[in-house]
Amino acid sequence: MKVSHTPAAVSAASDDSNLIAHARLVPVMRLAERCGLSRLVAEKVKLTGAANDAGAVADAKVTSIVAGMAAGADSIDDLDVLRHGAMPAVFAGVRAPSTLGTFLRAFTHGHALQLHAVHRKFLSELAAHTPLLPGADEMAFIDVDSTHKRVYGRTKQGAEYGDSAAQFAAGVRSGPR
Q: How many CB atoms lie within 10 A of CB 146?
A: 7
Q: Are 57 and 46 in contact (CB under 8 A)?
A: no
Angle subtended by helix axes 37-44 and 109-129, to nearest 10: 150
**Quick check: helix, strand or coil at residue 137?**
coil
9-30 confidence digits (pLDDT tens):
555 555 666 667 777 888 888 8
Which element (helix H / strand E) includes 150? strand 148-150
SS (H, E, C) 41-64: HHHHCCCCHHHCCCCCCHHHHHHH
In this predicted structure, the answer to whether residue 6 has a pLDDT above a threshold of 60 is no
Q: Identify the residue with better confidence: 164 or 32.
A: 32
pTM beyond 0.75: no
Among 129, 127, 125, 122, CA closest to 59: 122
